[in-house]
Amino acid sequence: MWILATLRLMPRLDPLGFVPVLAFLAVWAIGTEREAHLFGQALDPVVLAIVVRAWLQLAYNAQRRWRLLFSDVALTTAVPVLVAGFAAAAVALWVNSATVVQIAWSVYLMALGVTMVAYVLFAPGDLYMMPTPFARNDRHLEGAHLIIGAALILQSLCAAAMARWGSDAGWVLFVSLGHVALHLLTNWIVILWMMTCDES
């Protein structure tokens, strides 16, 4: 079937990109069995896990974009984002509240989704700078990023619902393995949509 054939067109995943997610799961699992302390205070395993994930994700993003370190784009956007991200993760350790971290995660995903939709609506010419595998595709650029933005917004709402009515374990699995699965599903939907547009 041609639908299954589209799986071969899926963007390749960088194995290093899985490291933050796997570390997140490992730190949380270990934290539920053994307490970690900072300045004499027991750290919530959810908080510690998400902070480790955030730091590793920021480091991963930085090494992917190291060529931009001395460009004007990096100085005005990438560097401030990295600094703010590391600082926010450090603040999360100090606050040490799983609820606050879960809310922050949902807000983060919502901000990503809304920003992407805003670029589609108001600045489509800048979509090539988006950190997505479809940013360099000249065909159907706006539609692809509209789908990705909508998926991030939906994922944010689902994460918030899981935090509100689910368990910590359920939330951890959703924002780790579920996040990867939804990322792959979204990419596949984008490819299906592009092929449908090309055939129509």
Percent share of the chain, pLDDT over 70? 83
User: pLDDT value at position 103?
Assistant: 94
Percent share of the chain, pLDDT over 90? 46
Q: Which of 175, 197, 159, 193 is nearest to 54 (CA)?
A: 175
Residue 157 phi/psi, 5-degree rounding, is -65, -40
Residue located via tokens 């939906």:
154
CB 127 within 8 A of CB 120: yes
The model's pLDDT over 137-181, given as tens digits with 9 standing for 90+, comes to 777 889 999 999 999 999 999 999 999 999 999 999 999 999 999
Task: Work out the angle at residue 180's Cα, subtended by the Cα atoms of residues 97 and 166, and round it to the nearest 5 degrees.
Answer: 40
User: pLDDT value at position 111?
Assistant: 93
Spans of all domains in the chain: 14-96, 105-200
The model's pLDDT over 80-106, given as tens digits with 9 standing for 90+, comes to 667 777 788 788 888 889 999 999 999
Q: Which of 25-39, 42-56, 102-116 has the lowest mean pLDDT?
A: 25-39
Q: What's the mean pLDDT when you consider all of the chain? A: 84
DSSP one-letter code for 11? P
User: pLDDT value at position 107?
Assistant: 94
Q: Has residue 125 got a pLDDT over 90?
A: no
State the DSSP H helix or E strand holding residue 77, giving kind and residue range, or none if neither: none
pLDDT band at 1 (very low <50, low <70, confident <90, very high): low
User: pLDDT value at position 2?
Assistant: 61
- Over range 124-149, report the average pLDDT: 83
Q: Has residue 68 got a pLDDT over 60?
A: no
CA within 13 Å, CB half, 136: 2
User: pLDDT value at position 59?
Assistant: 81
Instruction: Name the more confident of 41 and 74.
Output: 41
